[in-house]
Amino acid sequence: MKFVSLAEVKNQLSAYVHQCEDGETVIITKNGKPSVAIINIEDEADLESIMLSNSKQFQKIIEESRKSFQHGEGIPHEQFWEEMEGEKSE
């Protein structure tokens, strides 16, 4: 992981993108504090994971679902997948 200032990245963005393609993460700092990250995305699954993990709306849905399940609402994991498999065969 490499930390660089925004000013430095502005001048050499393509070089930092290439470093990320080689597996290194670049953290861009603004006024000395981490602000943004450049990371390698290998496939659509990586992109989807990144988008969902950074989505406040998705995180809210997950938290509400956890609370509902803790209060006895919802269905067990195994039942969910059984129902999903049943829908595929229909």
The per-residue pLDDT string of the chain (90 residues; one tens digit each, 9 = 90 and over) reads: 999 999 999 999 999 999 999 889 999 999 999 999 999 999 999 999 989 988 999 899 889 888 988 888 888 888 888 888 876 666
Kindly state whether residues 29 and 50 are assigned to the same domain: no
Distance CA 36, CA 14 (A): 16
Kindly state whether residues 30 and 9 are assigned to the same domain: yes
Give the pLDDT score at 27: 97
Kindly state whether residues 47 and 88 are assigned to the same domain: yes
Domain that holds residue 5: 1-40
Kindly state whether residues 90 and 46 are assigned to the same domain: yes
Whole-model pTM: value is 0.61
Q: Check if the beta carbon of residue 27 is closer than 8 Å to that of residue 37.
A: yes
Distance CA 35, CA 27 (A): 7
Q: Check if the beta carbon of residue 6 is closer than 8 Å to that of residue 35.
A: yes
DSSP 12: S
DSSP 43: S
Give the pLDDT score at 82: 86
Kindly state whether residues 47 and 90 are assigned to the same domain: yes
Phi, psi of 56, rounded to the nearest 5 degrees: -65, -35
Handedness of CA 68, 64, 50, 36 (dihedral sign): negative
